[in-house]
Amino acid sequence: MAISEQQVRHVAMLARLALTDEQVVHLGEELNSILDHIDTIQQLDLAEVEPTAHALDVVNVTRSDEVRPGLEREVALRNAPETEDGAFVIPRIVGGGEEA
């Protein structure tokens, strides 16, 4: 199955792509190559092949959750430029305009 220049232009229009005549020809060749590969794959006997989501087994490798001690408050605040009542003081980033 070959894709025509008109079909390439139609798909480009749907994708809102402005293509030159050279690009239309090039993309037509690329799409036809892809369709040829699909035809080759469709000719394979895959009756005994189980469908998969991935070609390889996917396994998550995660460490177990372990409760560990965190930093003490004084240590965490030691390098802060400004603190107040045991917390970081940061510049206001939301609002700051006139209060209603």
Fold of 5-42: Histone, subunit A (1.10.20)
Residue position matching structure tokens 């396994």 = 59
Domain boundaries, the chain: 5-42
Listed in sequence order, the residues at least 6 apart from 19 whose beta carbon sits closer than 8 Å to its beta carbon are 8, 9, 12, 27
Task: Please report the pLDDT score of residue 99 as a whole number.
Answer: 60
Task: Please report the pLDDT score of residue 51 as a whole number.
Answer: 86
Residue position matching structure tokens 């030159």 = 20
Q: Could you tell me the pTM of the whole model?
A: 0.48
Listed in sequence order, the residues at least 6 apart from 77 whose beta carbon sits closer than 8 Å to its beta carbon are 83, 86, 87, 88
Task: Please report the pLDDT score of residue 98 as a whole number.
Answer: 65
Over residues 43-67, the pLDDT tens digits come to 999 899 888 888 888 888 888 889 9
